[in-house]
Amino acid sequence: MRVAVIAIAAFAPAACATVDREEVDARLPDRAGFAAEAPVEKPAAPDWLATFDSPQMEALVGEALARNNSLAASAATYRSSRELARQSRAGLLPRVEASFDASRQGTVFGPQQRAVFGSDRVYFNQYSAGVLLSWELDIFGRLADGARAAFNDAAAARADFEGARLSLAGRTAQAWFNLVEARQQRELAERDVDNRSRSYAVTDRRYGRGVSTSLDVRLSRSALASAEATLALRQRNELEASRALEVLLGRYPAAELAAPEALPKLPGLPDVGTPGDVLAQRPDVLAAERRMAAAGLRAREARKALLPQLTLTTPFSSNEEDFEDAFNINRIGGSIIAGLVQPLFQGGRLRSQARQRKRQMQGAVFDYVEAALNAFQEAENALGAETLLEKQETALRLAFEEAAAAQELTERRYASGRATIFELLDAQQRRITAESQYITIVRDRLSNRVSLHLAVGGAFEAPAFGPSADGQPVADAAETSKGGAA
């Protein structure tokens, strides 16, 4: 016992080691605000999805959250880790096992015994019942550390699910924007084909009158063929955009989902908070923090495995010939056995495990800091892009308007013979390119706004859309994980 006490005193200080928060904070940059500056127009929105004012898009997000298979798999992973945590907590409680045996034995008699008993054999019934209660007293908190680590793993899985849910909402919204843009690009290509068809008809008539040359006809015909090829490409892009969105919704990719004519209006830029808010809101950062806490607890658990383990065992049993006597409380005998086990030599396995868990804890710290830095980078990129995309949209809108006016002027000049076919084709190409770029930049600004909300872990309310893939809500928002951080 004296040896055990000495061992406890030697190992107890080392067993308390867990994640060093000072080391974590030293690796994280200390910033009060984001470096990228953007004109904030309104307070933070409690539901960023609703700010786009697109009921159709919100309905699609609700459908995706209810039917997407990847999200359902993430929810199943969370539930599995939650059950593992509950299993680990069971180790803190006593273990009770019951047993019952029945046997029947026969004894063969000799001639003298047969004369006495009147039979050549006799049978004996034997009944035994027992209850075994065993309990490892967690005197140093080793089992509790393991249970808390498991609950932190479950909390990390829950954060992973929330991250998958947020990501799915963002990807669905962006896929919706892509589909609307694809329709607009296809309609633009159709208008271009019609326009070039009219130009070719004019050129052909001029050639018939001897005003234009065969070169003009061939160039017009070539431009029309190129426009038709572009139209086929735009039609394919629209079909693929529709299928991509349908897969997110859990539908068969039949390209049956139609888009409206116009993209939603870009809402005002909200106040997204500070880098510290990102650490507190973004699901993947919260998941990394929970895994870091779990790794610290498991490192402490591994160190405590070197300490003595105290186990209480209480067997109760009976062994009777009558069935009823086997369960008679007065005939059951028992004892209490206390066992103290101190690991002395296992070839260095326990110490190696302790060092391994410590290295895993250090790796979890680096993973957490890396997740935080990646989150800061994405937030800074999205914020910085807000101002630059706005400038780009303004310039492209002007380029489109001027190109459209120049095309109209050139077409009139060509019809009157004051412009060449090269000037006409160049004006038409400039206009179609400028309008296509303008459509794309409008979609880019909307997609970047969604990326900004994803980068800062923005909150949103899932629109109601029936049951999930398994007939139940994909996660119980009211249920919280137990165990807490280290």
Lowest mean pLDDT among 120-124, 223-227, 351-355: 120-124
Highest mean pLDDT among 1-5, 7-11, 393-397, 455-459: 393-397
Pair of tokens at residue 112? 């003298």
Query: How big is the CA angle at 462 (ends 85 and 59), to the nearest 5 degrees?
Result: 140
From 39, 479, 463, select the one nearest 272 (Cα to Cα). 39
pLDDT band at 37 (very low <50, low <70, confident <90, very high): confident
**Angle formed by the axes of helices 2-15 and 283-304, to 10°?**
160
**Global pTM?**
0.81
Q: Which amino acid is at 434?
A: A
Measured between its terminal Cα atoms, the distance across the chain in Å is 31
Of 305, 338, 364, nearest to 143 by C-alpha is 305
Q: State the Cα–Cα distance between residues 173 and 54, nearest whole angstrom.
A: 10
CA distance 157 to 351: 29
* Residues 106, 125: Cα–Cα separation, whole Å: 9
Residue-by-residue DSSP string for 164-208: HHHHHHHHHHHHHHHHHHHHHHHHHHHHHHHHHHHHHHHHHHHHH
Least confident segment among 34-48, 155-169, 279-293: 34-48
pLDDT of residue 163: 95
Flag whether pLDDT at 474 surpasses 50.
no
DSSP 45: P
Farthest-apart Cα atoms in the chain, separation: 143
> What is the reported pLDDT for 49?
94
Token pair listed for 205 = 């008539």
User: Which of the four pLDDT bands, split at 50, 70 and 90, describes residue 319?
Assistant: low
* Across 88-92, 230-234, 239-243, 385-389, least confident range: 88-92
Percent share of the chain, pLDDT over 90: 55
Residue 354, token pair as written in the block: 């302790």
- With a CB cutoff of 8 Å and minimum separation 6, the contacts of 271 are 40, 42, 43, 44
- With cut-offs at 50, 70 and 90, classify the pLDDT of residue 292: very high
**Please, what's the b/e burial string for 309-343 (b: 16 or more CB within 10 A of its CB; e: otherwise)?**
bbeeebbebbebeeeeebeeeeebeeeeeeeeeee
DSSP designation for 231: H
Tokens of 68: 């997407």
Across residues 178-202, what is the average pLDDT? 95
Q: Which of 16, 6, 52 lies closest to 358, judged by CA? A: 16
User: Is the pLDDT score of 228 beyond 80?
Assistant: yes
pLDDT in tens, 297-313: 989 988 888 888 888 77
How does the average pLDDT of the chain come out, rounded?
84
Please check the confidence at residue 155 and state whether its pLDDT lies above 60.
yes
**For 49-115, what is the HEC assignment?**
HHHHCCHHHHHHHHHHHHHCHHHHHHHHHHHHHHHHHHHHHHCCCCEEEEEEEEEEEEEECCHHHHH
Q: What is the mean pLDDT of residues 346-365?
A: 86
pLDDT grade for 39, boundaries at 50, 70 and 90: confident
Q: What is the model's pLDDT at position 43?
A: 79
Contact predicate 44/270, CB 8 Å: yes
Check residues 22 and 72 and name the one with the higher pLDDT: 72
Of the given ranges (4-18, 162-176, 369-383), which has the lowest mean pLDDT?
A: 4-18
Supply 311's token pair. Answer: 């186990």
